[in-house]
Structure 1
Amino acid sequence: MDVDVFVAAHQAQWARLEQLLGRGRRLTGEEADELVSLYQRTSTHLSLIQSSAPDPMLVGRLTQLVARARAAITGARRASWRDAARFFTAGFPAAVYRSRRWWIPTAVLSIAVGVLLGWWIATNPEAQSVIAAPDDLRRLTQPGGEYETYYSSHPAASFAAKVWTNNAQAAAMCLVLGAFLGLPVLWILFLNMANLGVGIGLMASAGRLDVFLGLILPHGLLELTAVFVAAGMGLRLGWTVIDPGPRTRRAALAEQGRAALGMAIGLALILFVSGLIEGFVTPSGLPTWARIAIGVAAEAAFLVYVYVLGGRAARAGDVGDVEEADQTATLPTAA
């Protein structure tokens, strides 16, 4: 391609496009149509220049011109409270709902691993001796021991903030590391279930499993559900790397990655609620049944939120992605 000839042939169109852009919103209907037409032509010109004769100065000029024209046509979009409301009433619950085939099996299998590990520790004195010395085990499991005092060892507000930060980090790691074929997510899940299994096993061996469950269930139901949702989404992201479906791998990962980022924000709020329960309810003087009832109510509210609002949004076509106007433009690809 002869760049000079190409510029001479289309210079007038580019100049006209710049002239229309300079008028801002003071365009007639015919001029607005002309602006759209010139934007499309200039985009094509830019593509031809980039593929055939990538002159840096010309590419830079046309890129800027195309960007200005696109902004003028689509309009600048600003985030608003409406966006936040839509995210929490549709986008986030829809993403959780659509990934339920990943996080529900993840939850069932993980809990099974934790329970089986706890049963093995409870019935195997040798395993208990590997975990800690007999005196240390007594300090952990006896009335007033470390398992009981852990939740009241710090002021409620600072303790809630601490556990919220730790849990949010674990959830974020599951979401981010899912891109590595999901393998790090499996390791994070195992570590969480190992900690749970050790607590179940040691307290059961001391005949105090009821006390342990009374301490874990109030906050643990919602907390573990959030972790399982994050892990399920991470595993789904990892599977997208292997099987992107009918889309290109790049497009599929972009969509799942944006949904995962939004889910991280939503789960941070869910874990904040769990942290408040762990900091203020779990160590409180309420009866065990009352503390557990609060945890069950919080878990039930989350599931209703996901299955009612999320299910409705998912059936309406919401995938938990950002608005179409905020997505990167994609070009058709051959199958």
Structure 2
Amino acid sequence: MDLDAYAEAHAEEWRRLAELVGRRRLDGREADELLDLYQRVATHLSVLRTSAPDPHLVAHLSALLGRARGRAVGTRVGTWAGVATFWTARFPAALWRLRWWWVGTAAANVAVTAVMILWLLAHPSVEQQLLTPAEVDQLVETDFAGYYSEYAASHFAFQVWVNNAWVSALCLALGVLGLPVVYVLFQNVANLAVIGSIMHRHDAAAEFWGLLLPHGLLELTAVFVAGGVGLRLCWAWIDPGPRPRSQALAEAGRTAGTVALGLVGVLAVSGLIEGFVTPSGLPTWARLAIGVLAEVAFVLYVVVPGRAAHARGVTGDLDATLLEDRVAVRG
């Protein structure tokens, strides 16, 4: 390839991109032009790397693209429109695309919890090894219900939100390792099964479910989503398919980041329910109805905007305009 001819043919585009990058403010038309030029110049750099890798020109265009990328991110992402797109398309699309991972995780955890409760009820000696009779009485008569009203509702809601966000973050952060996610989820359901079996054995099942389900439906769903997406991250490393393992893991990791950010909002809702609804004076049926409505709203959120966004090609990964540097360094 004739390097001088190629540079002369595209010099005006490079100059224009540098001009737009150097401006303090861009209107809508100029912002769109910057993004278009960014993608074109990224392709030019890819061609140069492959056919005529002149080090000075490659360094110049790489630096220009780096500045343009920073400007493009500020133009497209740092807006309320980007926030709205995240909640209406990117996050629900990720949930829909990965639904079988977290639905399967939820089903497995519910089944394990049910089996553990039934087993513990059939083996009362295990309870005696875990807690003394006095501790059991205290749990049933005061501690379980008192846990939800011990602190001011606003402080308790924040505490619950932080705790559940931490559990979900662990599932996502440890996802690439696989087994730690299984361990975190098992610890979560084991504690639930132990307390549930004790409450059932001592004729407090109605109180147990009446206090757990209003917030627990949405809260546990969020934890299971984090666990399922974490396991998907591990699977991307084990079986990357036709893509390079690094690329498959990077894509799964970026989508996991989308889910992690979205779950912050979901867990905030469950924390508010646990802080203000669960310990409230509302009748049990009303508290349960609020919990069921929150869970149904989440499912509809995944099915309706999530499925629609996925059908439009949204995957939960970053927007393609933010990933163009992959083209620029190919060679």
Q: TM-score range by the shorter chain?
A: 0.7 to 0.9
1:213-224 equivalences in 2 (<5 Å): 213-224=209-220
In structure 1, C-alpha distance between the alignment counterparts of 2:58 and 2:112, rounded to whole Å:
59
Q: Quick check: 2:172–2:260 contact (8 Å CA) kept in 1?
A: yes
Matches within 5 A, 1:61-72: 62-68=58-64
What letter matches 1:196 in structure 2?
A: L
CA distance in 1, matches of 2:60, 2:48: 13
The match for 2:254 is 258
Where does residue 193 of structure 1 map in the other structure? Answer: 189
Q: Distance in 1 between matches of 2:311 and 2:151?
A: 45
The corresponding residue for 2:120 is: 121
Contact 1:36 1:73 in 2 (8 A): no
Q: Which has the higher contact order (CA 8 A, sep 6+)?
A: 2
CA displacement, residues 69-107 of structure 1 (integer Å, 9 cap, x when unaligned)? 575699623221111111100110111111111111111
Deviates more, 1:130-139 or 1:32-41: 32-41
- The change in CA–CA distance for 1:214 and 1:73 in structure 2 (over 3 A counts) is closer
Structure whose alpha-carbon radius of gyration is higher: 1
**TM norm structure 2:** 0.84
Q: CA deviation at 1:254?
A: 1.2
Structure 1's 169 and 34: CA in aligned 2 closer, same or farther, altered over 3 A? closer
CA distance in 1 between partners of 2:194 and 2:16 (Å): 67
Indicate whether 1:20 and 2:15 are aligned. Answer: yes
Cα 1:66–1:130 shift into 2, 3 Å:
same
Structure 1 pair 49/170, CA: closer, same or farther in 2 (3 Å)?
farther
In structure 2, relative to structure 1, the CA distance for the partners of 1:129 and 1:324 (3 Å cut) is: same
Correspondence 1:229 to 2:228: no
Kindly state the Cα deviation for residue 327 of structure 1 after the two structures are TM-superposed: 1.6
Q: Which residue is 1:54 aligned to?
A: none
**AA partner of residue 235 (structure 1):** L
Out of 163, 176, 180, the residue aligned to residue 179 of structure 1 is 176
Aligned to 2:96: 97
Please give the per-residue CA displacement for 1:140-194, whole angstroms capped at 9, x wherever unaligned: 112xx100100001110010000100101111111111111x1111001101100
1:239 to 235, 246, 255: 235
TM-score normalized with structure 1 length: 0.83
Q: Superposition pairs for residues 40-55 of structure 1, below 5 Å?
A: 43-46=46-49
Q: Secondary structure at the match of 1:179?
A: helix
Q: Distance in 2 between matches of 1:299 and 1:62?
A: 53
Q: Distance in 2 between matches of 1:306 and 1:66?
A: 40
Structure 1 pair 42/310, CA: closer, same or farther in 2 (3 Å)? closer
Contact 1:17 1:35 in 2 (8 A): no
Residue from 300, 318, 322 that aligns with 2:314: 318
AA aligned opposite 1:167: N
The aligned runs of 1:283-322 (5 Å cut-off) are 283-322=279-318
Alignment partner, residue 202 of structure 1: 198
Displacement after TM superposition at 1:20 (Å): 2.9
Query: Which runs of 5 or more residues in structure 1 are unaligned?
Result: 1-8, 27-31, 51-57
Alpha-carbon deviations, 1:42-73, whole Å to 9, x = none?
654456787xxxxxxx8577324333157569
- The answer for the alignment partner of 2:156 in structure 1 is 159
Change (3 A) 1:135 1:37: closer
Q: Which contiguous aligned blocks of 4+ residues in structure 1 show a shift greater than 6 angstroms?
A: 32-39
Counterpart position of 2:29: none
1:211 match = 207
Distance 1:215 1:69, change over 3 A: closer
Which residue is equivalent to 2:277? 281
**Quick one: which amino acid aligns to residue 76 of structure 1?**
A
Q: Is the 8 A contact 1:17 1:38 kept in 2?
A: no
Indicate the SS of the match to 2:72. coil
Distance 2:189 2:150 in 1: 23
Q: Report the residue type matching 2:293 in the other structure.
A: A
Q: Distance in 2 between matches of 1:252 and 1:90?
A: 22
Identity over aligned pairs, percent: 43
Aligned partners of 2:226 and 2:260 also within 8 Å: yes
- Aligned residue for 2:145? 148
Shift of residue 13, structure 1, vs aligned partner: 4.5
CA RMSD of aligned residues (A): 3.3
Partner of 1:5: none
